[in-house]
């Protein structure tokens, strides 16, 4: 029988790449989408409507689909927004994860839930691995930590095949423009085409560890297929600043950033004491995971896509 995968959040950046990968791999893919959500839906995905903040609906969908693998990607992703709605953030991230785990237990699905380096926050240690201290610095980080720990305690108590993948920043041409990578690649493309003059950013010295979303979702599948469930950092291990990102994007667009980039306090976040950089040694050794796309290739692909999209307008 053809194996079935259920992907919550299938229309998002990660959901769409993951669905493409699973379909190519011969799976039936069912995608849970929020009513009205219409971003990327790969051909061949069967869509089911539901909001992960509705536990009864989520439970019914999981039992009905009874997937072999369940990738629970539907969740808020923009960290600053969590300050506006801490309660809703906890519900949508930790509450929904609890529902997913309980329902999976009933049907025996393998589950993968993405965590975030925000669970480490200002832990004082870098690069972070699965055992680094936790010190979240936002409601988003607290919610992700609760979900991460739920995966662990439910796995231990009920012997679930449930894995938590601590995914560092991962990007693609499908990344929404409120995230810094896409904001920069779109801005560089618009400036190169003479459509805009200026790119307004926050802290240029902020450090992140950026990978391609396609590589990260491949890590999720490896985690689901491994004999033993576990926690895995998925990261490139390379520390880059927003300034490095600007240089790479403007370079790919064939222009110099000088005179085009302005810092505005409204985009500057509170100082971060610990660089967000991951150590994916466990994923490499246990899962055989390796990122295939370099930072330069990632930024180049994004700039190329933004140039093409803007030219078509
Ligand atoms: P995050 O790591 O999930 O918060 O992903 P983002 O892409 O939103 O932010 C990455 C880093 O870029 C953070 O440290 C931000 O402080 C920094 N940054 C600098 N300028 C900007 C900006 O204009 N927009 C965003 N979103 N981030 C910025």
**Cα–Cα distance between 128 and 131 in angstroms, integer?**
8
Distance 191 CA to ligand 1 centre (A): 20
**Cα–Cα distance between 14 and 28 in angstroms, integer?**
17
pLDDT for residue 41: 84
Domains of the chain: 4-170+212-234 (3.40.50.720), 176-209+238-275+294-311 (3.90.25.10)
pLDDT band at residue 115 using 50, 70 and 90 as cut-offs: very high
pLDDT for residue 271: 87
Q: At what angle do helices 139-158 and 96-107 cross, to 10 degrees?
A: 20
Distance 105 CA to ligand 1 centre (A): 37
Q: How confident is the model over 154-184, as pLDDT tens digits?
A: 999 999 999 999 999 999 999 999 999 999 9
Q: Whose CA is nearest to atom 23 of ligand 1?
A: 201
Nearest atom, ligand 1, residue 207 CA: 14
**Cα–Cα distance between 272 and 6 in angstroms, integer?**
36
Whether 183 is in the pocket of ligand 1, judged by its Cβ within 6 Å, is yes
Whether 206 is in the pocket of ligand 1, judged by its Cβ within 6 Å, is yes
pLDDT, the chain, mean: 96
pTM: 0.97
Whether 128 is in the pocket of ligand 1, judged by its Cβ within 6 Å, is no
* Helix (H) / strand (E) containing 48: strand 46-49
Share of the chain above pLDDT 70, in %: 100
pLDDT (mean) for 75-102? 96
Tokens 């995966």 found at = 151
Distance 65 CA to ligand 1 centre (A): 37
Q: How confident is the model over 23-41, as pLDDT tens digits?
A: 999 999 999 999 877 677 8
pLDDT band at residue 120 using 50, 70 and 90 as cut-offs: very high
Residue 312 has pLDDT above 90, yes or no: no
pLDDT (mean) for 90-106? 97
């Amino acid at each position: 029988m053809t194996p079935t995968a259920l992907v919550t959040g299938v229309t998002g950046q990660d959901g769409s790449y993951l669905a493409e990968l699973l379909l190519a791999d011969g799976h039936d893919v069912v995608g849970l989408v929020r009513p009205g959500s219409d971003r990327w839906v790969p051909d061949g995905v069967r869509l089911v409507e539901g909001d992960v903040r509705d536990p009864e609906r989520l439970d019914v969908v999981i039992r009905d689909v009874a997937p072999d693998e369940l990738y629970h990607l539907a969740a808020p992703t923009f960290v600053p927004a969590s300050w506006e709605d801490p309660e809703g953030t906890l519900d949508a991230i930790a509450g929904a994860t609890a529902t997913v785990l309980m329902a999976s237990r009933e049907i025996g699905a393998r589950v993968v839930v993405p965590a975030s380096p925000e669970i480490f926050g200002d832990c004082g240690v870098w690069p972070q691995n699965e055992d680094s201290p936790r010190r979240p610095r936002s409601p988003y980080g607290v919610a992700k930590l609760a979900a991460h720990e739920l995966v662990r305690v439910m796995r231990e108590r009920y012997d679930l095949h449930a894995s938590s993948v601590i995914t560092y920043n991962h990007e693609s041409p499908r990344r929404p423009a409120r995230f810094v990578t896409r904001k920069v690649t779109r801005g560089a493309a618009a400036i190169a085409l003479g459509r805009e003059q200026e790119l307004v950013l926050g802290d240029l010295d902020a450090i992140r560890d950026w990978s391609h979303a396609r590589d990260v979702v491949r890590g999720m599948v490896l985690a689901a297929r491994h004999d033993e469930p576990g926690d895995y950092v998925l990261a490139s291990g390379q520390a880059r600043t927003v300034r490095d990102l600007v240089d790479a994007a403007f370079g790919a667009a064939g222009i110099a950033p000088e005179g085009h980039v302005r810092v505005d306090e409204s985009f500057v976040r509170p100082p971060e004491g610990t660089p967000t950089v991951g150590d994916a040694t466990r994923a490499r050794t246990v899962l055989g995971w390796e990122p295939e796309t370099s930072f330069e290739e990632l930024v180049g692909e994004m700039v190329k896509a933004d140039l093409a999209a803007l030219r078509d307008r």
